[in-house]
Amino acid sequence: MEAMEIDDTPQPGPSKEPTTSGASKKPDNLPWIEKYRPQTFQEIVGNEDTTKRLSVIAKQGNLPNVIIAGPPGVGKTTTILCLARILLGPSFKEAVLELNASNDRGIDVVRNKIKMFAQQKVTLPAGRHKIIILDEVDSMTEGAQQALRRTMEIYSNTTRFALACNYSEKVIEAIQSRCAILRYSRLTDAQILARTLQVCQKENVEYVEDGLEAIVFTAQGDMRQALNNLQSTYNGFGIINAANVFKVCDEPHPMLIKDMLNSCISGDVRKAYKIVDHLWNLGYAAEDIIKNIFKVCKNMDIDEPLKLAFIKQIGVTHMRIVDGLCSLVQMSGLIARLCMEAQGVKK
pLDDT band at residue 346 using 50, 70 and 90 as cut-offs: low
Architecture category of domain 35-183 in CATH: 3-Layer(aba) Sandwich (3.40)
- Phi/psi region, residue 66 (left: phi>0; alpha: psi -120 to 50; beta: rest), is beta
9 — pLDDT class (breaks 50, 70, 90)? very low
Q: Give the per-residue pLDDT at 10.
A: 44
Q: What's 63's DSSP letter?
A: P
Q: Read off the pLDDT of residues 305-333 as tens digits, 9 standing for 90 and up.
A: 999 999 999 999 999 999 988 899 999 99
Average pLDDT over residues 129-150: 87
- pLDDT at 15 (0 to 100): 41
| pLDDT surpassing 60 at residue 13 | no
Please state whether beta strands 239-240 and 206-207 pair in parallel, antiparallel, or not at all (unpaired). parallel
Q: At residue 199, does pLDDT exceed 70?
A: yes
Among 1.20.272.10, 1.20.1070.10, 1.10.3720.10, 3.60.150.10, what is the CATH number of 254-346? 1.20.272.10
Q: What is the pLDDT of residue 249?
A: 85
189-249, CATH topology level: Helicase, Ruva Protein; domain 3 (1.10.8)
List Cβ neighbours of 297 (8 Å cut-off, separation of 6 or more).
261, 307, 310, 311, 314
Torsion of CA 185, 186, 188, 194, to 10 degrees: 110
Give domain limits for the chain: 35-183, 189-249, 254-346
Task: Give CA–CA dist 25/17, Å, rounded.
Answer: 12
> Is the per-residue pLDDT at 115 higher than 80?
yes
Contact indicator for 342, 265 with CB cutoff of 8 Å:
yes
Share of the chain above pLDDT 70, in %: 91
What is the edge-to-edge ordering of all strands in the sheet holding 66-69? 96-99, 130-135, 159-165, 66-69, 180-183
pLDDT digits (tens, 9 = 90+) for 209-232: 989 999 998 888 889 999 999 999
